[in-house]
Amino acid sequence: MGERGKIREVPFAELGTVRQEVHEETKAVNWLLNTLAERLQDDSATAKAIRRSAPWRETLRFARWEGVLEVVDLLEDAIHTLGPDLPPEVLGDE
């Protein structure tokens, strides 16, 4: 299996398992994002995006703009690794 697009590279019988793995990894990333948001000021655009569960690409834009490097690194890695398998509502528009 390559590092990107897990669902596209597995036999049909294993799709459910891979989808569950992607779901669990998405939950873990969201938990980390919420933990990081607790450290940010209340008026931070990044924190507000995280708290309202904005799509990851939108949150990433705010984090880059504000220089919140922990969030930038986390989301860039998650999007690179999980991006092709993420539902559009999680990933957002480019």
pLDDT at 19: 75
pLDDT at 3 (0 to 100): 53
Question: CB-based contacts of 38: which residues, under 8 Å, 6+ apart?
Answer: none
AA identity, residue 36: L
Polymer length of the chain: 94
pTM exceeds cut of 0.85: no
The distance of Cα 84 from the centroid of its chain, to the nearest Å, equals 12
> Do 35 and 27 contact (CB within 8 A), yes or no?
no
- Collect the ranges in the chain with pLDDT lower than 70: 1-18
